[in-house]
Amino acid sequence: MAPSHVLKCCQRGLAWIPVIFINAIVCWSYYAYVVELCIYTISKTEEQVIYLLVFHVFFFMFIWSYWKTIISKPVGPSKEFCLPKVDKELYEKEENAEAQQEILKRVARNLPIYTRTGSGVSPLFSSAIRYCDCCQLIKPDRCHHCSTCDRCVLKMDHHCPWVNNCVGFSNYKFFVLFLVYSMLYCVYTAATVLQYFIKFWTNHLPDTHAKFHVLFLFFVAAMFFISVLSLFSYHLWLVGKNRTTIEAFRAPVFRNGPDKNGFTLGFRKNVTQVFGDQKKFWFLPIYSSLGDGYTFPTRLVNKDSEQGNVEHQAIKCTVDGQTNPRPLSESQNHLLTNDIHSEKQKDQSPTNIEVCQPVSITMVNES
């Protein structure tokens, strides 16, 4: 049997086949459009210039966003989420599940953890701390373990074979822009090629070596546009709902139970979380997402007695070579300030204050 490291190297090599395939198609489409269509087929100079200028804009943005998605390393939990050495030894020696949960809950008191596991029907396991046995750490909210990358990824959406990378907190914006510009690239190519496709098909242009490239270019562009359109529509829906692909299939579990809309803040704020609060960066593959990847604003803001005070904790997240200096609660407060303020104004009456004292929950409603 081959050594395990040789098998891993082979798997890593094979994982690049889809990326190589996509890049080969893109390189051929560039040649077919620029050389065979614009240079050899189109005779009008003005039409050539306009076609080439617009084409290169879409081509550049498509390549930029695609490779940003590929090279952006998935961000994993920091060392603060790893069990201390003493607790780790106790956890590994302990065989009782309840005792293991007590160890995890004790460590999680100082961490910004608000979601739980959803396995089982007993009170213990319906509110158990999410722990990764492979990475040996407590999972932050919306963090999941990727079996392909063999690591935990912050706000993991899915592992995409076409970019050979995990799509998560560090590159989700790039992935959505990749879908946008690939769609624009395909639809522009198909639209401008269509008239020459018809001319070649009806034999109104002489049979040259460009005929095959033009005909095939239209079919490929149309086919990829249809396939990418469905994927883009789905992720646009996810962005609007502030969900990941994993959360769309399995609702996150809070202390009050599963809630598929637990992270939904309204369409505008959901989009802002992914693309940032500066609109000038929305359509550029430049990191501008809000938050730190560890804490996220929710519709239910609970002061969990098991968590302790984590408002001033400063766990930092590095994305695109830059360390995010925001404290854990800043992204949450930044998006919820206006709503919380309006809720406080509504709750000034003595009756409302009396009702809210036993349960410290603030509801944030946005149509």
pLDDT in tens, 103-137: 999 999 889 988 988 754 444 445 789 999 999 99
Q: Point out the least confidently predicted range of 91-100, 111-120, 172-181.
A: 111-120
| Model confidence at 21: pLDDT above 60 | yes
CB of 320 within 8 A of CB of 287?
Answer: yes
- Give the pLDDT score at 8: 80
- Give the pLDDT score at 5: 76
Residues in a beta bridge with 301? 362
| Model confidence at 12: pLDDT above 80 | yes
Phi-psi category of 152—alpha, beta or left, where left has phi over 0 and alpha has psi -120 to 50?
beta
- Give the pLDDT score at 46: 94
CB of 140 within 8 A of CB of 293?
Answer: yes
Which residues have CB under 8 Å from 127's CB, separation 6+? 116, 117, 253, 255
Q: What is the dihedral of CA 88, 94, 97, 99, to 10 degrees?
A: -80
- Is 160 annotated in the active site? yes
What average pLDDT does range 235-262 have in this prediction?
Answer: 92
What average pLDDT does range 150-161 have in this prediction?
Answer: 95
Tell me the pTM: 0.81
Closest CA to 310 of 324, 292, 283: 292
- Spot the catalytic one: 149, 152, 160, 186: 160
What average pLDDT does range 13-37 have in this prediction?
Answer: 95
| Model confidence at 358: pLDDT above 80 | no
Could you tell me the two tokens for 259? 């809630």
CA distances, 196 to each of 185, 199, 201, 211 (Å): 18, 5, 8, 9
| Model confidence at 150: pLDDT above 60 | yes
